[in-house]
C-alpha cells in the first residue's frame, strides 16, 4: 500500500499544532495547581482506587480534565512523528526531533504519576514543569527546522548578536527555573496540605527571579540597539521586537501579581507569559541564522500566515 505524501507546508502546520498543544497543557497544569486541585485525584492512572473517571466535583474534575488533555498532546506528538515519516522530502533530523517529543511526553506522564503519588512534593512539581519547558524547546526547534532544508545556517547578524541571543536563551532558562522555585516557595502548592519548599526565603527567591528578568530585558534591548546600527533582516527585527514586548508584559504582570498578593488568576497568566517569553527567546536565537528553503516549503509570507 502506498503511503500518503505530506508537503513541507502541511508538516510545519503539524509541528505548530504540537508546539501549541505542549504550551497549552503547561497552562492547564498550572490551573490544576492554582485551583488547589493537585490532589483532586489521589491515584494514578485512575482518579481513585475504585474509579477511573473523576466524580462530578470541582477539584477532581479539574485534575482529571488535565489528564485528558495529555491525550490531546499525545496525539499531537504522534502526528509529528508520523508526519516526519511521510513528509516529502523525508529528513532524519525532523524524525529524531519528533521522536524526542514522544519520549518527553512519556517522561511527563511518568513524572505526573510520581507527583501525585508523592503528594505534590515541591521538587517533583518543579521537575515536572521543567521537563515541559524542555519539551517546548524541542517543539520550537522542530517547528523552525521544518521550515528549511536542514542544511547548516548562515548568520545574518554580527557574531556578537549571535552570542547575545544565546546568552539570552540561557538567562531566560535560568529565570524560568527560578520562577518554579518562587512558585514552590509561595502560597500555591496545589493543595492546602501540600508541602512547600522551605529551603529558601520567599522574598529572596523573588528578588533573584526579578533580577534575572531585568537582565534578560537588558540583553534584549542591547541586542536590538546593536541591530539598529548594523542592520538585520526584517524577520530578525520582528522577532526581537516580539521578545522585548513579551518580556515587558511579563514583567508588568509579575510586579502586579506580587504586590497584589499573588492572586491565582494572575499567577496563571504569568505562567503562560513565561512560556511565551521562552518561545520568543528561542525563536530570536534561531532566527539569527538563515537557511536555504526546500522547494515546496513555505515562503516568509506563508510562514507568517501559518504562525498567525
In this predicted structure, what is the pLDDT of residue 83?
A: 95
Do residues 283 and 241 touch, judged by C-beta distance below 8 A?
Answer: no
Q: How far apart, in Å, do the first and last CA atoms of the chain sit?
A: 36
Cell numbers 512519556 correspond to 106
Q: Is 289 helix (H, G, I), strand (E, B) or coil?
A: strand
Do residues 224 and 201 touch, judged by C-beta distance below 8 A?
Answer: no
Q: Where are the domains of the chain?
A: 1-151+294-308, 153-290
Nearest to 130 by CA among 278, 261, 303: 278
Do residues 63 and 37 touch, judged by C-beta distance below 8 A?
Answer: yes
CA 264/CA 36 separation, integer angstroms: 10
How do residues 94-115 score in pLDDT, each as one tens digit? 999 999 999 999 999 899 889 8
In this predicted structure, what is the pLDDT of residue 87?
A: 92
Do residues 148 and 293 touch, judged by C-beta distance below 8 A?
Answer: yes
CA 220/CA 168 separation, integer angstroms: 7
Residues contacting 114, CB < 8 A, separation 6+:
124
How do residues 53-101 score in pLDDT, each as one tens digit? 877 888 888 888 888 888 899 999 999 999 999 999 899 999 999 999 9
Q: Kindly state the cell numbers that stand for 86.
A: 511521510
Residues contacting 182, CB < 8 A, separation 6+:
202, 205, 206, 209
Would you list the DSSP string of 172-236?
Answer: HHHHHHHHHHHHHHSS--SSTT-----SS-HHHHHHHHHHHHHHHHHHHHHHHHHHHHH---HHH
In this predicted structure, what is the pLDDT of residue 43?
A: 77
Q: What is the pLDDT along the chain (308 residues), one digit of tens a residue?
A: 566 788 999 999 999 999 999 999 999 988 888 888 877 877 777 787 777 887 788 888 888 888 888 889 999 999 999 999 999 989 999 999 999 999 999 999 899 889 888 888 888 889 999 999 999 999 999 999 998 888 888 889 999 999 999 999 999 999 999 999 988 887 766 666 677 777 778 889 999 999 999 999 999 999 999 998 988 888 999 999 999 999 999 999 999 988 888 888 898 999 999 999 999 999 999 999 987 654 444 444 444 443 43
CA 183/CA 152 separation, integer angstroms: 39
Q: pTM value?
A: 0.90
Amino acid at each position: 500500500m502506498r503511503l500518503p505524501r505530506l508537503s513541507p507546508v502541511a508538516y510545519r502546520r503539524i509541528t505548530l499544532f504540537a508546539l501549541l498543544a505542549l504550551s497549552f497543557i503547561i497552562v492547564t497544569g498550572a490551573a490544576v495547581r492554582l485551583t488547589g486541585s493537585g490532589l483532586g485525584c489521589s491515584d494514578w492512572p485512575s482518579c481513585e482506587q475504585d474509579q477511573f473517571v473523576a466524580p462530578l466535583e470541582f477539584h477532581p474534575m479539574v485534575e482529571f480534565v488535565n489528564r485528558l488533555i495529555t491525550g490531546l498532546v499525545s496525539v499531537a506528538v504522534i502526528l509529528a512523528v508520523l508526519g516526519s515519516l511521510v513528509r516529502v522530502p523525508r529528513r532524519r533530523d525532523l524524525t529524531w526531533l519528533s521522536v524526542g517529543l514522544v519520549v518527553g511526553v512519556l517522561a511527563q506522564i511518568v513524572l505526573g504519576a510520581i507527583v501525585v503519588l508523592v503528594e505534590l512534593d515541591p521538587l517533583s512539581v518543579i521537575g515536572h514543569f521543567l521537563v515541559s519547558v524542555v519539551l517546548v524547546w524541542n517543539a520550537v526547534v522542530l517547528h523552525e527546522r521544518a521550515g528549511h532544508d536542514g542544511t547548516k545556517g548562515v548568520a545574518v547578524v554580527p557574531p556578537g548578536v549571535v552570542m547575545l541571543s544565546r546568552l539570552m536563551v540561557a538567562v531566560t532558562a535560568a529565570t524560568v527555573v527560578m520562577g518554579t522555585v518562587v512558585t514552590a516557595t509561595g502560597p500555591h502548592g496545589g493543595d492546602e496540605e501540600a508541602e512547600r519548599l522551605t529551603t529558601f526565603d520567599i522574598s529572596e527567591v523573588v528578588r533573584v527571579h526579578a533580577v534575572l528578568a531585568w537582565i534578560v530585558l537588558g540583553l534584549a534591548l542591547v541586542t536590538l540597539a546593536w541591530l539598529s546600527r548594523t542592520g538585520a533582516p526584517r524577520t530578525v527585527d520582528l522577532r526581537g521586537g516580539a521578545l522585548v514586548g513579551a518580556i515587558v508584559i511579563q514583567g508588568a504582570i509579575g510586579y502586579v501579581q506580587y504586590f497584589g498578593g499573588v492572586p491565582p488568576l494572575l499567577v496563571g497568566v504569568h505562567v503562560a507569559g513565561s512560556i511565551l517569553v521562552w518561545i520568543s527567546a528561542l525563536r530570536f536565537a534561531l532566527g539569527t541564522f538563515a537557511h536555504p528553503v526546500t522547494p515546496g516549503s513555505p515562503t516568509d509570507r506563508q510562514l507568517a500566515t501559518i504562525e498567525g
